[in-house]
Amino acid sequence: MKLTEEQIAHFHREGFLFFPEVFTPTEVAALAAEAVAIFDQERKEIWREKSGAPRTAFAAHTYNEAFGLLGRHPRLIRPVEQIFGEALYMHQFKINAKAAFDGDVWQWHQDYGTWLRDDGMPEPRAMNISVFLDTVMPINGPLMLIPRSHRHGTLAAGHDLETTSYPLWTLDKATVTRLVDEGGIVAPTGKPGGVLMFHGNLVHGSAGNITPYPRKIVYLTLNAVSNFIRTPTRADWIAHRDFAPIVPVPDEALEHYARTRRAAA
């Protein structure tokens, strides 16, 4: 997947790019099945909502073969390398469950706010690139983005330790209102296999999910190798310390895994 000049210009102007069909139904079905099995496990890397429903599974690329392949997939790595012009390492890897009925809110925030304050990341030269594992609909808590908000740099934020089970540096209502007046809100929706990438300073959030439709999305946070984190405070399975450049797998590796290894399991 090579970005065109037009796509790169769109990314810099709007702060995000959405590709509705990147992974095949076979590839994404294998990932979705693995995600469900991961959420059934009890491990320290799996965080739950206050209700007990799964919220986030960290670092699955380190202990699960399918997500290991996704974490080195050229369809995700190459476009981000193209934007930053250098090799990347995995800063963070999360599968967010947004469970049916119980998936809780993600308050309005910028991810770089956390990477800077909690991890000591020098510049916003890390990118979230996400893969839809379920159909993302207007009704099941899609990710909402405020276009062009990344142009405001890193905004003042408060550390919210109360609202959900996940501590987050969140923005106040006046700031969000001002940014939305300028940029509006978009919520990309679509089939499993869609990919969304967005700037580390793009303001985003999502509402709770009270529908019977789960909304699993995997987020790779790819950091430029030269921008490695200097003063981490979070566990190394949340903010990784392996700064070695990612070497992508062949483009067909995940499809091959889904058709052979997984089918045989």
Contact residues: Mn ion, CB under 5 A? 111
Alpha helices, DSSP H, located in 102-260: 111-119, 173-183, 253-257
23 binds, among Mn ion, ligand SIN, none (CB under 5 to 8 A by kind): none
Token pair of 6, please?
């037009």
Radius of gyration in angstroms for the set of CA atoms belonging to the chain, rounded to a whole number: 17
Task: Name the minimum Å distance from CB 206 to ligand SIN.
Answer: 3
Contact partners, residue 76, CB within 8 Å, separation at least 6: 70, 129, 131, 195, 220, 222
Under rule CB under 6 A, residue 239 binds ligand SIN? no
Residue from the set 64, 140, 170, 206 that interacts with ligand SIN by CB under 6 A:
206
Q: What number of chain residues touch ligand SIN (CB under 6 A)?
A: 8
Task: Name the minimum Å distance from CB 56 to ligand SIN.
Answer: 8
Residue with tokens 């969140």: 170
* DSSP type of residue 103: B
Which residue lies nearer to ligand SIN by CB, 127 or 217?
A: 217
Residue from the set 72, 204, 216, 240 that interacts with ligand SIN by CB under 6 A:
204
Residue from the set 30, 217, 218, 249 that interacts with ligand SIN by CB under 6 A:
217
Task: Name the minimum Å distance from CB 5 to ligand SIN.
Answer: 29
Token pair of 69, please?
């392949």
206 binds, among ligand SIN, Mn ion, none (CB under 5 to 8 A by kind): ligand SIN
Identity at 157, one-letter amino acid code: A
Which residue lies nearer to Mn ion by CB, 14 or 111?
A: 111
Using CA atoms, how far apart are residues 139 and 145, in angstroms rounded to an integer?
15
Using CA atoms, how far apart are residues 188 and 126, in angstroms rounded to an integer?
21
143 binds, among Mn ion, ligand SIN, none (CB under 5 to 8 A by kind): ligand SIN
Using CA atoms, how far apart are residues 227 and 211, in angstroms rounded to an integer?
40
Q: Which residues bind ligand SIN (CB under 6 A)?
A: 96, 98, 106, 143, 204, 206, 217, 219
